[in-house]
Chain A
Amino acid sequence: MEELIEKLKREVIEQLNLEDISPEDIEADSPLFGEGLGLDSIDALELIVLLEKNYGLKIEDPKDGKKIFHSIRTMAEYITEHKKA
């Protein structure tokens, strides 16, 4: 899990072009939206594409998005859970 979290941090930084932010600056449990990284709705779309492209995971129910993209850890948990299945 920790390995996946570190990988995800790097991917999020690259996908969202988060200049001046390094993986160490992102807390695995900090909220991605609002506070924390302060991401917005365009970033949410970018993250949906990231999950689909890099992990083959499609979010079927948009309502799940809020939970999945709460933090890097929740993203990693979703990937781990659904990749196994």
Chain B
Amino acid sequence: MGCISPQPTLDNKSFLEETVSVESSRMKAIGPNYKEFIPPEMVRRMGRIIKMGVAAAKTSLADAECQLPDAIITGTGLGCIEDTEKFLGNMIRNNEEFLTPTAFIQSTHNTVSAQIALLIKCHGYNFTYVHRGFSFETAILDSLMQIESGQAKSVLLGAADELTENSFQIQSRMGYWRQKPADNLKLFEHPTKGTVAGEGAAFFLLHEKKNSNTYAVLQDVEMLFRPDSPEEVISEIKLFLERNGLKESNIDLLVLGRNGDIRFDSIYDSVTETAFPGVPTCNFKHLCGEYMTASSFGVWMASRILKNQQIPDMLIIGKKPETLKHILLYNHYQGINHTLILLSQA
């Protein structure tokens, strides 16, 4: 796996031993020295999201000891928004004249997976899904289908989103973010309107067979668009677990996309109290912030927990489980895109 986030997560030798606290309404990803991952003639043209995606993808491949996956499948909510803004800004400023190609070329949503393919010379299936809060989950679905159908033995699956000044300001006006700066590590202590904006890139190498490098089994994914009530979500969770031969009582840990926004967090309480009483939970958005593909950070976290068979003290809410076989990730984006991801011990 490879994960770039507002936390020091790229080093796979440590797992949230240090956490970054920011007193702000936004969290910026901690980038490595990108020149260690990307040749200088390529890195100079890349926006931040591309650099984050490529570095996370290369880390993931190295971690899995894989040189060439059969497919590259990514999800992104807003894609290369920095280059899009640059290109559109130039159009406005220069009265639609003097348009340069670089920002335009790099502004397309599939640039991240394309650049990864160019760098590792992967000529296989290459797809990018852009479905707001379903982007990463749709990429998971396609990846699982590629492997289950035998089209691919290994898939580099990932997600990336970047936060720019403009996108932050626009979404701030839409009421997405907290008006007063908040300490991200105390995000859930004072629930209010809005949350903390975030960004990041996480990549995973899925393989049809497990080996000594395997972190977890990515069992299944489900997406619910605008469910009417918590009861509908609970009912869907039941069906989702049933189709995977599980019951609610088999879930050892819930990883939740709670984000401290008073308008959206109550459904997590309803679901956990009704369907999973006594099951310990972990939140993750106080570490990575909110963005359309934030669940990829949750999958990264859950996979590390399954491999380590340990939950960091600062994450767990409730009693530590004796075994960690199955983790259910439940996330929603703006109350619209609800998603379930099931991970099991390898």
Partner-B contacts on A (CB < 8 A): 15-20, 38, 40, 42, 45-46, 49, 52-53
Contacts and interface: CB of A to CB of B under 8 A. Distances in A.
A45 B40 CA distance: 19
B44 A49 contact: no
B40 A20 contact: yes
Interface of B: 40-41, 43-45, 94, 97-102, 105
Given A17-B45, A40-B41, A53-B97, 16 more contacts: A17-B44, A17-B102, A18-B44, A19-B43, A20-B40, A38-B41, A42-B101, A45-B100, A46-B100, A46-B101, A46-B102, A49-B98, A49-B99, A52-B97, A52-B98, A53-B94
Contacts of B45: 17, 42
A19 B100 CA distance: 18
B50 to A, nearest CB: 13
The 5 A-B pairs at the shortest CB distance, nearest first, are namely A53-B98, A17-B44, A45-B101, A49-B100, A49-B98
B118 to A, nearest CB: 13
A19 B46 CA distance: 12
A19 B101 contact: no
Contacts of A16: 44
18 contacts: A15-B100, A17-B44, A17-B45, A18-B44, A19-B40, A19-B44, A20-B40, A38-B41, A40-B41, A42-B45, A42-B102, A42-B105, A45-B100, A45-B101, A49-B98, A52-B97, A52-B98, A53-B98
B179 to A, nearest CB: 35
B178 to A, nearest CB: 34
Contacts of A49: 98-100
Contacts of A45: 100-101
Contacts of B43: 19
A40 B40 CA distance: 13
Contacts of A18: 44
Contacts of B98: 49, 52-53
B102 to A, nearest CB: 6
Contacts of A42: 45, 101-102, 105
Contacts of A15: 100
A74 to B, nearest CB: 21
Contacts of B41: 38, 40
